[in-house]
Amino acid sequence: MVHTSSPPSLSIASTVRLGLFQGSLGFLAVIFAGMLNRVMISELGFPGLLVGGALAFEQFVAPSRILFGQLSDSRPLGGRHRTPYIWLGAALFCGLAVLVVPVIFRLAAARELGDGAAITLGTVLMCALFAAYGLAVSMATTPYLALVIDRTQERERSRAVGIIWCMLTVGIVVGAIVISNSLKGLDGVTDPLVLEAVLSRFMVRAALAVMGLTLLATWGIEPALPQVATAKASTEFGSASPARDDAITVPQAWALITSSRQVAVFFVFLVLFTLALFIQDPILESYGADVFGMPIAATASLNAFWGVGTLLGLVLAGWWIVPRLGKYATARLGCQLILASMLLLILCGLVGEVSLLQAVLLLFGLASGIGTNSTLCLMLDLTLPEAAGTFIGVWGLAQAFSRATAKLLGGGLLDLGRAIIPG
């Protein structure tokens, strides 16, 4: 973390404003993991493994967070350490988001024609685009989280993290509602030309809105560095202080994690928990389309039910369950409820009732919120203050690679299921 003079603490209103950026990321997550994922699989007929693999590239580039964290620490731009990197990263991922739609539909056209060379080129380009999108997100989010730490005192940091985490979920809910309302005109539409035109216009508007929210969220939050401090930071670029957490190498970080059996066990638990939570990502909206016959706007709204349940679960766990049952018991309860929700998701497909699917997703969100709250509490308990940056970085990488693996497994399981039981 960069240490300058201690700025005034953030008010709750300023923290909520700062959380708008996290909310915009939740909005984009619904577009990529939900809407575009469903369009590629159900409307364009892409294999689930291809879609899951392409989406996984966004997470596979997660190690770049270490580089961007070190850059924002040691090389300020325009007299600030964090904000310029956030703005640059946001501008890049908004621009790349707009490019995703035409690339997807060019690949769909190549698949329709059976042009092997064009299919190969389109697949590589799509995966590269998602990887570049992930790099841009890492460029923005790592300095953003560092900015949250910079601007909060230790005693108020948990409150700030809680608000920002809730804003992420609010962004998912709002995104699901916006997508549902904006794309109602696509009900029953299968013509790729019409789909591409509508989705392209929607993506441009979404990118502009996200960029505007990013500027609104971060404008004026980070104080400018004094000229002397800026010059000193520039001349010291590349020379890390021994006290800096993020200067520890990956082998050293891994040695730190494996030095304690308790921490190593929790690391494995975090990987498996994240894998279980997100394995439905590449399947859910296509499940609504193929099994329940839901149009694009309706399947997008499924994320709203999950998001509302998650918010309720986070609040319920933080205010009532964890204080009464404890963190470990609450984590077990969350995992058990997630397993039950997954089984219910399978069973409600046999009934084919959309209202039942929505109710189960609300329960699944509730379970996710309870499990996430307790897992975060355990993670903070196992994070050593003297190496906080390293621990948080390793936890983040574990979650990123678990989400990538979940997308690959989810897409592969979808293809396997379709092969065993043709539609």
Tokens of 171: 């962004």
pLDDT tens per residue across span 120-138:
999 999 999 999 999 999 8
Instruction: Specify if 52 maps to a domain.
Output: yes
Share of the chain above pLDDT 90, in %: 33
Structural domain count of the chain: 1
Its pTM stands at: 0.81
Per-residue pLDDT at 242: 35
Bridge partners of residue 77, in order along the sequence: 80
Instruction: Specify if 304 maps to a domain.
Output: yes
Q: Is the dihedral of CA 305, 170, 12, 330 positive or negative?
A: positive
Instruction: Specify if 6 maps to a domain.
Output: no
Backbone dihedral region of 326: left (phi > 0), alpha (psi from -120 to 50 degrees) or beta?
left
Instruction: Specify if 5 maps to a domain.
Output: no
Give the least confident one: 145-159, 170-184, 405-419: 145-159
Q: Which residues, including other chains, have CB under 8 Å from residue 171's CB and lie 6 or more apart?
A: 22, 23, 24, 25, 26, 27, 29, 30
Cα(213)–Cα(177) distance, rounded to whole angstroms? 17
Instruction: Specify if 250 maps to a domain.
Output: yes
Per-residue pLDDT at 117: 92
Instruction: Specify if 3 maps to a domain.
Output: no
Per-residue pLDDT at 229: 43
Helix, strand, coil shares of the chain as percentages rounded to 5? 80, 0, 15
- Range of the structural domain that residue 366 is part of: 12-420
Instruction: Specify if 189 maps to a domain.
Output: yes
- Which amino acid is located at 307 in the chain? G
Instruction: Specify if 1 maps to a domain.
Output: no
Q: 4 pLDDT exceeds 80?
A: no
Cα angle 248, 229, 14; round to 5: 80
Which of residues 245 and 90 earns the better pLDDT score? Answer: 90
Contact 132, 60 (CB under 8 A): no
CA 243 to the chain's CA centroid: 30
Nearest to 297 by CA among 191, 189, 172, 170: 189
179: domain CATH number?
1.20.1250.20
Per-residue pLDDT at 304: 87
